[in-house]
């Protein structure tokens, strides 16, 4: 972390100011040290350049495993596509020129696929995750030469001062938290008046009752990451040839959700090997999370309205993407 990150940090427990004590640093960053709260005296460590405001919780073990195993898979600069950038545009409704110099929070960064896009667009990005995905994110950002601050913290107790960020986005994350409504309501606190917010969340639909994966999850969400990975390998080995064929026949694409893998066949964008890797990643991601609480559009809108968000609307993106702006009053 760079020392100027301290300008926006606060104790996640009492909101007190934090004093930085440096043990090891490079020319530009603090590599090891401590952040001590002047009010409650709690201490938080800095390890490998990442401020750590939590110890790992077991419910995110699968994500720690996932994003270090598939750390480069969805990063546009590594896979040769614009898939992440296109999704970021569609789900946030933001344009590159709007993010120039904007202080932006990626709430649930994973390996950093969207942090990389926001940073490339000129935003000053802070990427947060609860699990060891922060290691993959930091490594990827360093390799890409992106100046992204990475912080390990909980969305329910973020270590930032209120009204700090110009923009906050959380894409594909909140449904995997223990209480999505609480997480939705917590994030606007850190937006400046007039700041912009963007969520993409699994939508609650009747079709989930006909998808085999939702019944298999009754078992798989209790398995270890390694067991889930082994199961994903088996299922993909069995069903990948079928989904490959179905993806080539537009009239049959609608039956893909009935196949118990999350196939990703981006023809003209991904090689066959990459399609296999993306399918493995998304199948594992489908079965391994402990929590998966889909939301209705009304539930998300109501939660945001209760925090003073305005101009709340749904974008035209595939799935449920909700954006809004924090009121000035």
DSSP 95-153: -GGGGTT-EEEEES-TTSHHHHHHHHTT-EEEEEESSTHHHHHHHHHHHHT--EEEEE-
| Per-residue model confidence as pLDDT tens digits over 128-146 | 999 999 999 999 999 999 9
- 329 pLDDT higher than 80: no
DSSP class of residue 295 equals B
Of the candidates 156, 155, 128, 163, the residue with the CA atom closest to the CA atom of residue 51: 128
Range 109-143 burial, b when 16+ CB lie within 10 A, else e: bbbbbbbbbbbbbebbbbbbbbbbbbbbbbbbbee
* Residue extents of the structural domains in the chain: 1-49, 53-203+294-326, 206-287
What per-residue confidence (pLDDT) applies to 320?
Answer: 96
Please report which confidence band the pLDDT of residue 58 belongs to, taking 50, 70 and 90 as the band edges: low
What per-residue confidence (pLDDT) applies to 268?
Answer: 87
Contact in structure between 289 and 176 (CB atoms under 8 Å): yes
| Residue owning tokens 């969520």 | 199
Q: Provide CATH code, domain 53-203+294-326.
A: 3.40.50.150
Contact in structure between 14 and 36 (CB atoms under 8 Å): no
What per-residue confidence (pLDDT) applies to 145?
Answer: 95
CA 309 to chain centre: 21
* 299 class by beta-carbon count within 10 Å (0-12 exposed, 13-18 middle, 19+ buried): middle
What per-residue confidence (pLDDT) applies to 56?
Answer: 64
- 119 pLDDT higher than 90: yes
Tokens found for residue 214: 């939702």
Of the candidates 317, 104, 272, the residue with the CA atom closest to the CA atom of residue 195: 104
* 51 class by beta-carbon count within 10 Å (0-12 exposed, 13-18 middle, 19+ buried): buried
Q: Domain 1-49: which CATH class?
A: mainly beta
Question: How many residues does this entry show for the chain?
Answer: 329
Across 9-13, 60-64, 196-200, 234-238, least confident range? 60-64
Q: What is the mean pLDDT of the chain?
A: 94
What per-residue confidence (pLDDT) applies to 28?
Answer: 87
pTM of the model: 0.95
* 105 class by beta-carbon count within 10 Å (0-12 exposed, 13-18 middle, 19+ buried): buried
Average pLDDT over residues 179-194: 96
- 155 pLDDT higher than 70: yes
CB atoms within 10 A of CB 7: 9
DSSP class of residue 187 equals G
- 254 pLDDT higher than 90: no
Average pLDDT over residues 8-36: 95
């Amino acid at each position: 972390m760079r020392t100027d990150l301290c300008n926006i940090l606060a104790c996640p427990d009492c909101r007190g100011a934090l004093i930085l004590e440096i043990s090891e640093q490079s020319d530009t960053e603090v590599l090891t040290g401590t952040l001590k709260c002047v009010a409650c005296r709690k201490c938080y460590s800095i390890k490998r350049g990442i401020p750590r405001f939590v110890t790992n919780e077991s419910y995110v073990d699968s994500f720690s495993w996932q994003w270090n195993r598939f750390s480069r898979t969805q990063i546009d600069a590594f896979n040769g596509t614009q898939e992440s950038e296109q999704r970021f545009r569609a789900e946030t409704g933001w344009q590159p020129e709007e993010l120039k110099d904007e202080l932006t929070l990626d709430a649930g960064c994973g390996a950093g696929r969207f942090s990389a896009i926001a940073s490339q667009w000129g935003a000053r990005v802070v990427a947060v995750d609860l699990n060891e995905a922060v290691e993959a994110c930091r490594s990827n950002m360093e390799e890409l030469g992106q100046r992204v601050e990475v912080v390990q913290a909980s969305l329910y107790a973020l270590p930032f001062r209120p009204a700090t960020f110009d923009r906050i986005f959380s894409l594909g994350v909140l449904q995997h938290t223990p209480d999505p409504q609480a997480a939705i309501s917590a994030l606007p606190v850190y937006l400046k008046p007039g700041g912009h917010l963007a969520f993409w969340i699994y939508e609650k639909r009747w079709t989930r009752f006909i998808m085999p994966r939702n019944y298999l999850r009754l078992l798989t969400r209790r398995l270890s990451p390694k067991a889930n990975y082994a199961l994903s390998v088996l299922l993909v080995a069995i069903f990948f040839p079928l989904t490959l064929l179905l993806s080539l026949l537009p009239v049959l694409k609608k039956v893909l959700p009935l196949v118990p893998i999350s196939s990703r066949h981006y023809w003209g964008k991904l090689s066959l090997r990459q399609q296999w890797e993306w399918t493995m990643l998304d199948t594992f991601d489908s079965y391994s999370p402990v929590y998966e609480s889909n939301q209705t559009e009304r539930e998300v809108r109501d939660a945001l309205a209760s925090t003073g968000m305005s101009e709340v609307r749904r974008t035209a993106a595939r799935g449920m993407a909700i954006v809004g702006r924090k009121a000035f009053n």
